Chains A and B, each alone.
Chain A
Amino acid sequence: MEILVCVRRVPDTSENEIELNGAGNDIERDELVYSINEPDNYAVEEAIQIVARVGGKVTVVTVGGEDDEEILRREMAMGANHGVLLSDDAFAGSDGRGIPVILKAFVQKGNYDLILTGVQAEDGGAQVGGMLAAMLDYPFASLVNSIEVLDGRKLKISREIEGGNREISEIDLPCVLSIQTGINEPRYVGMKGIRQVASVPIPTYGASDLGADLNTVGTAAAKVKRVDYFVPVLGKGAEMLNGSREENVEKVLELVAAKGGLK
């Protein structure tokens, strides 16, 4: 099975405190720790496991720039066979619609049976997979948390629905699936693994290589635009306890006793 996994490099929210920049038009990106978008990493692991069972190849692709090569190499160190970078000045400023347009052009140059994305990026809208599928006229399923390959170019999949229940379906290949976290246990990637793929060439395709319609990508085509960022005020805010740890411990115990009762 030929599997394409669409991945993205994002600021890692488990490693960073996200703050606004001085102008308020972006987050402060200096000194941010970036990593592969977490659900995308699960998608790559799933692709590698499927290929281990039924044969085939895994290609990881991202739309971005030179800095994004690092996540392609990381996923190749995990076991993806190929990494491809889609990069062009004309792609800059694409909205959530422009990205799947670019990916569609790349998909049509190949012969993929299965296309995976992560369910959502940290700063995204859970939309790339669903849009890409509609543009390709492929079937689609979101929030996928298990995949079984059946005979006759079909998969049996499960989706995560409310209350931890699972919706089981059959889906025809080729198709697009967006992968939910927890579907597998992504393998650890060590420095040694990354060094082994450090010199593997990563082909880069631009708009002309892909035959992408430039009227449908980039800033000019974007219908959805971010104006500015701000820090939300959701509730009245917690009363912060700023005492010593010992004082805080005592206060918490008092509160637990007062509000819910200790055993």
Chain B
Amino acid sequence: MNAESTREALDVASLAGDILLASGAEIFRVEETIDRIARAYGVDSSDAFVLSSGIFLTAESGKKQEFARVRHIPLSAARLDKVTAVNQLSREIEEGLHMPKEAKAWLLDIQRMPDKPRWHQVLASGVGSACFCFLFGGDVVDSMVAFLSGFVLYFYLLYLLRGRMSKIATNISGGALVTLIAVFLYQAGIGHHLDKVIIGSIIPLVPGVNFTNAIRDIADQDYIAGSVRMLDALLVTFCIALGVGLIITGYHQLAGGLQL
């Protein structure tokens, strides 16, 4: 095994790890995948240390160090399609189906995989909000209002903001926006349960991915990654509550007293 092929193999392994981590995979999956790919290409001495926002990967032969790489990967939105694709590819690499060059080309393709069309996402946010509003006890009219506010919420996130605001500002304003729509329509006489409408339409903001992953990382004893993800989830939840709270306080000041 010469240095050149070790480098090529670890290139592939680290790229696979990058994509997985950035797409919302669990830490142990990232470590396992890097390890599997490296060993499938005959590198036994590699060592990967993965945090929620970075990968450290080294390999050595005897006394000489052959490979070292540190990658910074910011927390970002879930891309479970990429997780699935990389998982499939790493299985195929283990079966010996791909040479390192091919595998790298595949990975670069996976990295460039397009998002679902934005209007699908906007529609899904509306439909999801409406369904959850119904589940939490809203009637048909409430669900329609929740559809509208969930729809506007993702329209705001994907078309108007496009990720230009900080996470904190995005979630406070998102929570405030849906509450504003719900309160406005409620006041105009559309919708019967204000609380159900708001609960349904804040669900698209709820940090389910980070929360679930945080628990699983902590269970796998990846405490640092787990606490960072849990902190992220708590912060987002707190911001949503703050956004909702702001508008409701304003509404009470204007309308006076409890009307809910």
Query: Is B truly associated with A?
Result: no
Seen from chain A, the residues whose Cβ lies within 8 Å of a Cβ on chain B are: none
